[in-house]
Structure 1
Amino acid sequence: MPVKPAGLPEVIGKFFDAKNVHDADAVARTFAEGAHVEDDGKTYRGRQEIRDWSAKESGGVQIVLTVTEATHHGREAVVIADASGNFPGSPLAFVFRFQGTHDDFSEINHLAIELKQ
């Protein structure tokens, strides 16, 4: 089922949809060519590294992300999502901090992911 949290740019819904079906290519397409992702103390730059990060992150672990809260102002959006699956500690809540490339937020330019405290 597609994710379209109310008030969020369409590309963020596409990101979560792609993550939930473990489609690394579709995840990468939601990002601008020069985008970067910060996750677990590492930075991934450009669509190819982002694609590889997404594929590796999903490898062997069936994770489903469920958006529980979301805010959007201009080129920035913050999403809290529960990650559930076959991993220790499931479910865990994560904060996804998105920055868009343009005023219309047509692509993701930056994403920082952290465990919700």
Structure 2
Amino acid sequence: MSLHLAKPIADFIEANARLDLDGMLTPFLPDAVFIDNGKHFEGQAAIRHLFEQEVIPVRAIFTPETVRDEDGHVVLEGPAHGDFTGSPIRFTYRFTLVNDAIKTLETTV
């Protein structure tokens, strides 16, 4: 199944599939906020650090299976797999877009 995603979200997902750190950051606004299971990372530098510590080393790749609009957010659901305990784990990714870029991304299990 092919999902139709807004360009910044599609770019993020594609970069994550390649574990391309710079590509994963490009769709985010400079003052974006990433909320990872309740922990807030504000700005691209903090988000980069999160990816360097939590995504790249364990090769965590999110594969969305569903997409829906919900109160102005784009919500994706699917598994993340990689070299971590419990892989694969199902996640929900909730994106807020502003000016064709990611303003917020909240992930929950």
TM-score, scaled to structure 2? 0.87
Alignment of 1:29-68 (within 5 A): 29-68=26-65
Gaps of 5+ in 1: none
Whether contact under 8 Å (1:5, 1:13) holds in the other structure is no
Distance across 2 between alignment mates of 1:75 and 1:101? 11
Distance across 2 between alignment mates of 1:28 and 1:62? 16
Gaps of 5+ in 2: none
**Secondary structure at 1:95 match in 2:** strand
* 1:84 alignment partner AA: H
Do structure 1's residue 11 and structure 2's residue 8 form an aligned pair? yes
Whether contact under 8 Å (1:28, 1:48) holds in the other structure is no
Q: CA deviation at 1:75?
A: 4.4
Question: Between Structure 1 and Structure 2, how many residues are aligned?
Answer: 108
Q: CA deviation at 1:65?
A: 1.7
> What do you get for the CA RMSD once the two structures are aligned?
1.8
State the match for 1:69 in structure 2: 66
Distance across 2 between alignment mates of 1:48 and 1:23? 16
Q: CA deviation at 1:59?
A: 3.9
State the match for 1:114 in structure 2: 108
Whether contact under 8 Å (1:32, 1:107) holds in the other structure is yes
TM-score, scaled to structure 1? 0.82
